[in-house]
Amino acid sequence: MKALLRVVLIVDALMLLGFGVLFLLTPWASLYDALQLVQPQPALVGLVLGVVLMGLSWLAVRAAFDGAMTVPVGRVAGHINWISGVLMLVWLIGFHNPQLTGFGQLTAGGIGAWLILIGFGGVRLAGAVRRRDKAQAAGSKAARRDSPLASQSELRAEPVTRSVPLFAGATSPATPTSGAVDTPMSPPQPEAPEPAATQRTTSADEARLSARDETANAPRPPLHG
């Protein structure tokens, strides 16, 4: 569908190029007389219109090869073409202006009908391509959302909060970690036994206190006068 729209844009570019060159040759009166066409007056109007048509032709060629410009330019160019064709037919049939010969009227009527045909075709193709692109974008987005790999990647990207104990009986505030494993704290070590020297000192003090108590409780000899 998009390839067909590119073909329509290329045809449109060639048509615009031909009209642009024709209007750029407005001062050439003998050419218009040979083609039985009405020469634009003043000539400056024909020259300016020729430059504009040449620019539109370049834009259509650019859009035919640039995917981002294909749909919008094809839509706008289509509307310009069919509106121009309708205006040509209205002036030729309804107002009989400009006054042309039989061949000139036939040529102008054919050009108007061709503009309407290619204009509506470009608009329809641009709309179809735009709807298809939207549907493809929505489908790919839904597929990415429903994909299990995408869900796993999202889960891996989320931070994991763990509490790391600082000491026995207390924990630090929750700290975000990424896949880290808590290191278990070592169990409290039993108290070291008292040194042997301390035990010996305690035994000696107890023996001294016991000897003092026995001496105090021993009977005293009688006093001799």
| 224 within some domain | no
Q: What is the pLDDT of residue 180?
A: 44
| 212 within some domain | no
| 169 within some domain | no
Closest CA to 117 of 85, 72, 74, 157: 85
| 15 within some domain | yes
pTM of the complete model beyond 0.75: no
Q: How far apart are the C-alpha atoms of 180 and 94, rounded to whole Å?
A: 84
Q: What is the pLDDT of residue 181?
A: 46
| pLDDT per residue rounded down to tens, the chain (225 residues) | 778 888 888 998 999 999 899 999 988 888 887 877 778 888 888 899 999 999 999 999 998 898 888 888 889 988 998 998 898 888 887 777 666 667 777 877 888 888 899 888 888 888 888 888 888 888 877 777 776 655 555 545 555 455 555 444 444 444 444 444 444 555 555 555 555 555 566 677 777 777 776 666 655 555 544
For residue 82, what are the domain limits? 2-144
Q: What is the pLDDT of residue 48?
A: 92
| 168 within some domain | no
| 158 within some domain | no
| 199 within some domain | no
159's tokens: 């931070």
Q: What DSSP string runs through 24-93?
A: HTTT-HHHHHHTT-PPPSSHHHHHHHHHHHHHHHHHHHHHHH-HHHHHHHHHHHHHHHHHHHHHHHIIII
Instruction: Specify the number of domains making up the chain.
Output: 1
DSSP code for 94: I
Handedness of CA 132, 134, 138, 144 (dihedral sign): positive
Q: What is the pLDDT of residue 174?
A: 47
Q: What is the pLDDT of residue 186?
A: 54
Are the C-beta atoms of 9 and 125 separated by less than 8 Å?
no
| 137 within some domain | yes
Are the C-beta atoms of 66 and 6 separated by less than 8 Å?
no
Q: What is the pLDDT of residue 166?
A: 47
Q: What is the pLDDT of residue 83?
A: 92
